[in-house]
Structure 1
Amino acid sequence: MPRYFMELAYKGTQFSGFQVQENAITIQSSIEQALQVIFKAAIPLTGSSRTDAGVHAMQNFFHFDFDYIITPKNKYNLNAILPADIAITAFYKVEPQQHARFDAVSRHYKYVIYNQKNPFLEQTGYYYPFAVNTQLLQTAAQMVQHNTNFTAFAKRNSQVKTFNCQIMQSQWMFNGPVFEYQVAANRFLRGMVRALVATMLQVGREAITLNDFEALLHNKHNKQANFAAPPQGLFLQQVAYPFTLTPVA
């Protein structure tokens, strides 16, 4: 049976996360309902990366198996009935063994912060009206890039076998009152990016030292990490695969 990758973008503000949940409206449940309307069949989806409630994505993927030729008209009709804050950007026909989650080689996130009140960033950024030391933030980000174990920055009850992550990029970008943290890795732990951001902001405000932060990076407990960064500033920017995706719709 043919396998397809579905590429999508969404604003997560009104959703209870990415994955299907009982008695909750999620990205996956909304798309599965729309697919059933268009194709008159239940089509289970497998996602590449889960995002929490309120988190956004500029690029994410599902895969599904369906014995049907997907066309641009199908994509148009699907977008027409989906909520305005979900957009299907492309369909790709792939090999039957290719997997949206397990074949991903990297994921790239950004976290947006603004320190001057801005109504246009209220749902897509973290209003943080405090002075921060940008050099301390950048140094902390470099320390993240040289770390491999992130046990201290994973939420409790994370059902994973390893807390090791290979960080490919970790840096802060500054543009006047708006600044953002850019991070890419082969995998991320639940709550990890928001915990890194919140804890680095403590470094930037000099509430903790760089030595404190380094000790936390090597800690195997998360009791000292800060998880206070809210979800609306977080974006999944890109999911990368080791093969070429050619759109069919």
Structure 2
Amino acid sequence: MPRYFIEVSYKGTNYSGFQVQQNANSVQAEVEKALLVFYKQPLQLTGSSRTDAGVHARQNFFHFDTESPIKDGSYHLNAILPPDIVVKRIFPVPGESHSRFDALSRQYTYYLYAHKDPFLADRAYFYPYALNISLLQQAAAVLMEYGDFATFSKRNTQAKTTLCTITQSIWEQQEGVLSYTVTSNRFLRGMVRGMVGTMLQVGRGKLSVEQFRAVIEAGDCTKADFSVPPQGLFLQKVSYPQL
């Protein structure tokens, strides 16, 4: 059966997450409703990367199968969708392509700002504390030395392994916004927010870099800090071999 990918972008503030959930609105549910209206057939979507409630995405993907010929109806779908969800394109892919399992890597960025700014309130974390950027960079580099991130995986996860391969881990500061960007082949539930929250403890001098290593090696999620809120987190990019 012919298969198609949908590339989407969304602001997650008003949604309970990416994937369809009972008794809660989601990005997937809104896209499926718009597809039904425009293509006049129910299309079941499979998502590439789940994002939690309040988390945003500059790029994410779904795939679906249909026997009916599908043209890229992005313009019309965007007229149907809420203003905080955008369909960027719909395109055919080989029938065995899978939006989740074929992804080579995902990239996330977490944003923070230290001075009150109403234009960043729902897209970054207001964190008015002094931070040592050098220590944050050291902690970010330490993460790339490890492969098991059980410490940064929330409980009740369905993941069969806590092994991940991080290929980028860096803090940057520009125009009053501090950001942490991380790229990995896969991410665990709550992983990015857990890493950010724990590294912020290093940046504030509450944990040394060596203590941060000990937290990673403990493999115990109770030792990580998952307290940073969702609005600062963006899924930036999902990479595929064929795209």
1:112 maps to which residue? Answer: 111
- 1:31 maps onto 2:31 in alignment: yes
- 1:17 maps onto 2:17 in alignment: yes
2:8 maps to which residue? Answer: 8
By how many angstroms is 1:92 displaced? 1.6
Query: What percent identity do the matched residue pairs reach?
Result: 52
Give 5+ residue unaligned stretches, structure 1: 245-249
Deviations 1:142-177 (A, max 9, x none): 001111100010001111111000001000011142
C-alpha separation in 1, matches of 2:103 and 2:232:
23
1:57 maps to which residue? Answer: 57
1:46 maps to which residue? Answer: 46
State the secondary structure of the residue aligned to 2:63. Answer: strand
By how many angstroms is 1:39 displaced? 1.6
C-alpha separation in 1, matches of 2:161 and 2:25:
30
C-alpha separation in 1, matches of 2:145 and 2:89:
35
C-alpha separation in 2, matches of 1:3 and 1:122:
39
C-alpha separation in 2, matches of 1:198 and 1:116:
19
1:247 maps to which residue? Answer: none
By how many angstroms is 1:91 displaced? 1.1
C-alpha separation in 1, matches of 2:96 and 2:27:
24
Q: Which amino acid aligns with 1:116?
A: H
C-alpha separation in 2, matches of 1:209 and 1:194:
19
State the secondary structure of the residue aligned to 2:221. Answer: coil
State the secondary structure of the residue aligned to 1:121. Answer: coil
State the secondary structure of the residue aligned to 2:12. Answer: coil
Q: Aligned-pair RMSD on alpha carbons? A: 0.8
By how many angstroms is 1:70 displaced? 2.7
Report matched runs for 1:1-249 at 5 Å.
1-72=1-72, 74-244=73-243
Deviations 1:91-146 (A, max 9, x none): 12100000000000100000000001111000000000000000000000000111
State the secondary structure of the residue aligned to 1:149. Answer: coil
By how many angstroms is 1:77 displaced? 1.1
C-alpha separation in 2, matches of 1:149 and 1:47:
25
By how many angstroms is 1:223 displaced? 1.1
Q: Which amino acid aligns with 2:42?
A: A
C-alpha separation in 2, matches of 1:17 and 1:181:
21
C-alpha separation in 1, matches of 2:217 and 2:117:
37
What TM-score comes out, normalization by structure 1 length? 0.96
C-alpha separation in 2, matches of 1:83 and 1:189:
29
By how many angstroms is 1:220 displaced? 1.7
What TM-score comes out, normalization by structure 2 length? 0.98
By how many angstroms is 1:76 displaced? 1.2
C-alpha separation in 1, matches of 2:19 and 2:85:
14
By how many angstroms is 1:209 displaced? 1.1
State the secondary structure of the residue aligned to 1:103. Answer: coil
Give 5+ residue unaligned stretches, structure 2: none
C-alpha separation in 2, matches of 1:106 and 1:172:
19
